[in-house]
């Protein structure tokens, strides 16, 4: 159990990287899968945050990558049960990423009072120096904090 509980937003790449097979096959849970380890730890020991649009993005990308819809449904249900819903009220991020589809993750983190936004997405990482909070970082950088 981590020493401190954090509020965390996961970018779509973290959800995709975690995969969905482990939802139906416990043998697919892998300590070597960094994204999976972070997702499970955030769900178990922290406060994961999502908005309707971030959840929609997760679903769309999983389906586009041909994850079986039954597993997508199980993963989305898991996330909705384990994470906390954030209503987005902020209209614009103070510093927008060049890929405007990524702005919703910053808005979710801001409106959800997140400590961390875990992202391996270049567009989000490009604006990380513009934000003191949430701290935007790569999974490899934030794993020691979130999985301590």
Distance of CA 45 to the CA centre of its chain: 14
Q: What is the pTM of this model?
A: 0.94
Residue pLDDT, tens place only, 7-40: 999 999 999 999 999 988 877 788 889 999 999 9
Closest by CA position to 121, among listed 138, 100, 134, 133: 138
Strand 135-137 relative to strand 47-50, pairing = unpaired
Percentage of the chain beyond pLDDT 90 is 89
Mean pLDDT of the chain: 94
In the chain the domains, ranked by start, together with CATH numbers, are 7-146 (3.40.50.1010)
* pLDDT at residue 147 tops 70: yes
pLDDT of residue 30: 80
């Amino acid at each position: 159990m981590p020493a401190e509980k954090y509020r965390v937003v996961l970018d779509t790449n973290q959800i995709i990287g975690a995969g969905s097979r482990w939802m139906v096959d416990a043998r697919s849970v892998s300590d070597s899968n960094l994204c999976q380890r972070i997702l499970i730890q955030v769900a178990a020991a922290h406060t994961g945050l999502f908005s309707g649009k971030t959840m929609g993005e997760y679903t769309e990308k999983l389906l586009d990558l041909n994850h079986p819809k039954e597993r997508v449904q199980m993963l989305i249900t898991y996330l909705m049960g384990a994470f906390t819903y954030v209503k987005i009220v902020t209209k614009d991020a103070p510093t927008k990423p060049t890929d405007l589809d990524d702005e919703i993750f910053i808005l979710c983190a801001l409106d959800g009072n997140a400590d961390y936004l875990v992202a391996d997405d270049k567009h989000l990482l490009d604006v990380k120096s513009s934000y003191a909070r949430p701290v935007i970082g790569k999974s490899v950088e934030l794993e020691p904090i979130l999985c301590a």
